[in-house]
Structures are given as C-alpha cells and as structure tokens.
Amino acid sequence: MVSNGLRSDSNLLYLATLELCRRILRWVVMVPFVAHGHLNQLLHLSRLISGYNIPVHFVTTTTHLRQLRSRHHQYSNNVHFHGFPTPPFTSPPPNPSNRFPSHLLPAFKSTIHLRHPVANLVASLSTNARRVAVIHDFMMSYAVQDVKTIPNAETYIFHPFSACDIFWRKWELKGRPFQVDRDVLNRLPSEDGTFHPEFVELVKLQYPHVGFHVGELFDSSRVIEGEYIKYLEREELNNKKKIWAMGPFSHADKSVTVSTNNRHICLRWLDLQPSNSVIYVSFGTTTTFSDRQFKELAIGVERSRQRFILVVRAADIGDVSGDEAKMSDLPVGFDERVEGRGLVVRGWAPQSEILGHFAMGGFMSHSDQPRNAFLITDVLKVGIVVNDWEHRDELVSSVVVEDVIRRLIDSREGEEVRKRAVELAEAVRRSMAEGGKCRKEVDSFVSYIKRVHDKNPIAKIEGK
C-alpha cells in the first residue's frame, strides 16, 4: 500500500509538472496595419520569430489576408493566419491629385473593428501559454487596447517608419528636450502635407492607448541608424521602454527565397544582365499617377538609355475586390523601343528579391515620407533626390528623370552613392551573422519574451 501510494503521488506530481510545462509555451500575436508595406514588414518579422520555434499568430482583416496570400506564397508552418471580417465599406477610386492614398481611408478605418476579435484571440491563447507577446503597428494601438487587461499578455509597438523619422516626431512632440546638430535640423524637411486630415484623426485615435507597451521594435539596424536609435533610448524620450532594432526584416528572413523553378520572369531577366547595371522603377502599392505624370516618367526612363525594370500597376484599391483601377498607358511604341534593354512588369513584382539581385544598380521610388527620404539622401548619402518635398506640387519632367537615372548609374557621383550603398549593405549582412548587431538584437528580443521570473512556480521547475 505504501508503494502504491508513492506511485500515486508521483503520478500526481508528474501530471502537475506536465501541466506547468505546457503553460511554459509562448505565443506571439502580430497585428499589422492594413497598408501593404506595413503588412509586409510584420509578415517578414513573423517568419523571423517563428524560426526560433515560437508559434506566431498573424491577425488582419479577411480582405487584407486575401490580398496578402495572393502576393506571398511561402509560409512557415509556425505562422498561423487569422482573417477577421469587418463591416462592408465603399472606397472611392484612386485620385492622382492626392499624394496621400485617400482612397484607402475606408479600409484603414475598418481596422477599428478588430478590437474585439484581437482581444478574444489573445485571451484564448493566454489560457494555454505562460506569456503572449502582442506585436502591433502603432496604427493598431486602438485595436489592441484590451490586451492590457489580460494578466499574462504584453504588448510591443512596431514602428514601420525609420528610426530617424520616429526620432524627429518624438523630439518635436516632447518639446525638443535636448540639443541636436543645428546644421542637420536646418536641413530637415517639413512634414506639412504628408497626411490626409482624416488619417490624422485616425492617428489621434491611437494615442490614448499608447503607453502600456513593454517595448518598441524597428525594422532597422543600429548599423544603419545607430545615432537615432540612441537618441530614442534617451530618458527624455523613452519613458523606460525597451527598444530593439531587429531589421532589415526582409534580409534577416531567409525564407523569402523561392525555388529556381518558380522564379518570377523579372528575376530570370535580371540573371542575364551585368552586375549593378539595372535601375528598378516602382512606386509601390498606393501611388497613383496622372496620365501626364506617368508619361514623363516613362519617357525619362527610356531616354536615360540605361537598363531598367519598370513596374506598371494600378494602386491598391480599398476593398481589394480584384477589380483593377485604371493603369496609365505607356507611350506608343515604348515596349518595342526598349526591347532587350528594359523590362515592363504589369502587376505585382517580388520587390525584395529584385532589390537583392546582383544586377541591381539603383531603385527609383516614391518619397511621400520626406524624413525617410532625408535619411537616405542626406544622412546616409545612399540616394539622390529626384524632387524635394518643398517642390512636391511640381510636375517631375522627363528631363529630370533622365538626368537622375544617368547620374546614379553612369556618373562619378552615382558611383560614389552606389559604393556607399554596397558598403552599408555589407555591414548589414555582417550584422546578421552569428554575434552581429542585428542577430544580437533578435536574440535579445526572443530571450526577453521567453524570460522566466523566479516568483513563478514554473521557474522553479525550469531551474532544477
């Protein structure tokens, strides 16, 4: 009887230990904003974190999950997708006269309806986990506001903009609490006209729900923006929040590479081009050109006489219904005149893989976020301004486009810019190797969300 009693006690201890170990599981919940660039960044981060054998739950609207899956066909088995419906909305057609994609505002506003689905998901996951880490875009602070009521859940704000941009915003919001380089400050562009008034109201909706987070994440690196990250860690701006600069996510996420047999046509075309010889011209998923603007762009690209990939696509429409918005037409005979020297891609293109190709020599894109452009062209000096923010209402002529492309690809100035870009890229690659700065940041974040407190009974079991 004594023997049986001991076995019974052991079984009870075993079952109790098993239950406690089960609760040691950690979950990460990603809550991105629904603009595609924001979705894309947190998808890369999801893959990166899941590589540490941590299950990740990726949350968005049903509409935007459909869009995301149409563009990304590789997923980690450890990333679980949740698409939640929102009330129907109607989006106006894209308007070329608006720099801000105001046609997407109804879709942006729909995110407020994710509040209860997010809270319910996190609450459900929390019953089977020791800790749930919720990483959310700043613009989803309203949607995650109830997470703070869940005892074993904690939130982390993800900033989709550069650390440079976020620093200047915080520094000005806090009343310029310390001195900065006056010369840099004098060159800093204004942000007047950056955002649509309705979007500003959506931003203001987030502020009451900020401050409960444990830390802040950046899709950047101390190798790239070390000075600004240090500024953000200062007591005057930081409020004792932890900061991790874990990017660039797209480079750290190795799973974006696709098989040779399934490569996009533009990648196969790039394989045939000389190193550093191609300019990639793409203006993202939200930019809409007028016919005149697009004609000037296309003529300038053609007359530059440089190799190029030109992405011709309509801007994303708000309800992602599959109906293409009107795409501007290329000049008559354009395809025939550039055959062999240029490639036109009509539709979505695998941008991360294109930019990582050895044949790429430059990238022309939008700069509707002037302080991100300032970082690239003025601070890092790895880019050339096509049209500065103060002249944003002026038409960019084909002559300007032609001149800038030639300067970048075929001039001493461009050679120096590309040399700095290569050096910076190499430094970033080294930072992702074992012991590198980026690798340490990612390891540090993962270790933090897996931390164990001595006061928790599970910690005592782990410590034996």
Is 137 among the residues known to form the active site? Answer: yes
The set of residues, in sequence order, having a beta carbon less than 8 Å from that of 410 and lying 6+ positions away, is: 306
**Are 296 and 395 in a shared domain?**
yes
Is position 5 within any domain? no
Q: What is the pTM of this model?
A: 0.84
**Dihedrals phi, psi of 275, to nearest 5 degrees:** -60, 140
Cα 296–402–289 angle (5° rounding)? 30
**Are 192 and 129 in a shared domain?**
yes
Q: How far from chain centre, in Å, is Cα 76?
A: 18
- Strand 342-346 relative to strand 242-245, pairing: unpaired
Distance between CA atoms of residues 309 and 311, nearest Å: 6
Domain containing residue 455: CATH number:
3.40.50.2000
CB atoms within 10 A of CB 460: 12
Tokens 């080294």, residue located: 430
Residue 294 tokens, joined: 């697009």
Distance between CA atoms of residues 143 and 389, nearest Å: 32
Is 219 among the residues known to form the active site? Answer: no
Task: Say which DSSP state 312 is in.
Answer: E
Residue 375 tokens, joined: 């970082």
**Are 155 and 286 in a shared domain?**
no
Distance between CA atoms of residues 268 and 290, nearest Å: 31
**Are 120 and 227 in a shared domain?**
yes
Residue range(s) defining the domain that contains residue 438: 24-255+433-463
Distance between CA atoms of residues 64 and 31, nearest Å: 12
Is position 4 within any domain? no
Task: Say which DSSP state 324 is in.
Answer: P
Is position 388 within any domain? yes
**Are 422 and 437 in a shared domain?**
no
User: Which one of 44, 64, 82, 137 is the catalytic residue?
Assistant: 137
**Are 271 and 234 in a shared domain?**
no
Is position 15 within any domain? no
**Are 413 and 442 in a shared domain?**
no
**Are 205 and 326 in a shared domain?**
no
User: Which one of 36, 38, 103, 357 is the catalytic residue?
Assistant: 38
Is position 7 within any domain? no
Q: How many domains does the chain have?
A: 2
What is the chain's pLDDT, residue by residue, as a tens digit (464 residues)? 333 444 455 556 545 444 444 444 689 999 999 988 888 899 999 999 999 999 999 999 998 888 788 776 566 678 999 999 999 888 777 777 777 777 788 888 999 999 999 999 999 999 988 899 999 999 999 999 999 999 999 999 999 889 999 999 999 999 999 999 999 999 998 888 788 888 889 989 999 999 899 999 999 999 999 999 999 999 999 888 999 999 888 766 655 444 455 788 899 999 999 998 999 998 877 777 888 888 999 999 999 999 999 988 766 665 555 444 456 678 889 989 999 899 998 877 888 889 889 999 999 988 878 899 999 999 999 999 998 888 888 888 999 999 999 999 889 999 999 999 999 999 999 998 888 889 999 999 999 998 865 333 333 333 33
Q: For residue 288, which of 12, 103, 40, 142 has the smallest C-alpha distance?
A: 103
**Are 270 and 138 in a shared domain?**
no
Is position 17 within any domain? no
Distance between CA atoms of residues 228 and 56, nearest Å: 29
**Are 438 and 338 in a shared domain?**
no
Q: For residue 147, which of 155, 157, 136 has the smallest C-alpha distance?
A: 155
**Are 292 and 241 in a shared domain?**
no
